[in-house]
Amino acid sequence: MIQASPYRTVIEAMFRVVTPEAADADVVLRPVQAHLDAHWTTRNIVPKSRRHGVSTYVIWRFLAKCLTQRNRRCMLVSHRQDELVVLDRNGGVGELRTW
């Protein structure tokens, strides 16, 4: 049996999502996300199907890695100008900026 990554613990313990009813809820990985988490490799090939949360999981994983490792700087770049987000981690304080 393949074990969950340490990032799953961070994601499910620290991250929250907004439900369709506009309430906050703890993150619980969907089956496809949990499978990707348990089988993560240096190079992951995922046939892209919609509505399984693969892109969301990848963002959460990279964010969890950035928040848990010292001296790490992260940048998330979107192909659309209105969705461009940069995550800059300095001295233990995360800052999100949008352009």
Model pTM score? 0.73
Radius of gyration of the chain (CA): 14
Both tokens assigned to 14? 């620290």
Residues in CB range of 8: below 8 A, 6 or more apart: 29, 34, 37
pLDDT-based confidence at residue 14 (cuts at 50, 70, 90) = very high
> For the chain, what is the mean pLDDT?
80
Phi, psi of 73 (to 5 degrees): -120, 135
Q: Where are the domains of the chain?
A: 1-68, 72-99
Closest CA to 90 of 73, 76, 75: 73
Sign of the C-alpha dihedral, residues 73, 64, 38, 85? negative
What are 69-99's pLDDT values in tens digits?
888 877 776 666 555 554 444 444 444 444 4
With pLDDT > 90 as the criterion, what percentage of the chain qualifies?
Answer: 37
What are 22-53's pLDDT values in tens digits?
889 999 999 999 999 999 999 998 887 788 88
